[in-house]
Amino acid sequence: NRTVGPGYSFRLPFQIGANDFANNCVGNPAQVLLPDCSQPASSPVNNFTFSRKLVETDVLYCDFTAALTAQQGALHGASSHRFSVSDKNYGGMSKEGTEKVESYHFYATDSVLAVEPFMRIAIQPGHRQMWHHKIKFHQN
């Protein structure tokens, strides 16, 4: 039974800054998440790890739609739908897709780490539309 904490990480296809945590989150994830150490402390980043193990009462939730929308022009096609979640001791997964992502949510508890992309797919009656998802799982 593994607990989400140090060794767990996630990567988003866009950058998150301090304001994104302050304005769009519940549970104060900025106190638990560590940004990628290769970036200056004040710079927005897209790769995060955990500073401590989450406990049963920790419930972290963020809606990163505003950050995604602000950077959408710099993201093209599948690049807006590319993220990963991993545990350095066991493995992880990465996902990319061809459809444009409308919003991203992040959710974590002591037993769950989820990056949730949301797409809006509108298909007219009698028409078809294709999209692709590629999910890779890996073990360490």
pLDDT in tens, 9-64: 999 888 888 788 888 899 988 888 888 665 555 556 788 899 999 999 999 999 98
Contacts of 88 (CB under 8 A, 6+ apart): 7, 8, 9, 140
Q: What is the pLDDT of residue 70?
A: 82
Q: What is the pLDDT of residue 132?
A: 86
Q: What is the pLDDT of residue 21?
A: 82
Asked if residue 134 has pLDDT above 60, the reply is: yes
Q: What is the pLDDT of residue 78?
A: 55
Q: What is the pLDDT of residue 9?
A: 92
Model pLDDT for residues 75-118, shown as the tens digit of each residue: 655 566 788 999 988 999 999 888 878 888 999 999 999 999 88
Give alpha helix (H) positions in the chain. 18-24, 65-71
Q: What is the pLDDT of residue 3?
A: 92
Task: Please check whether residue 79 is in contact with residue 72, taking contact to mean a CB–CB distance below 8 angstroms.
Answer: no
Asked if residue 72 has pLDDT above 90, the reply is: no
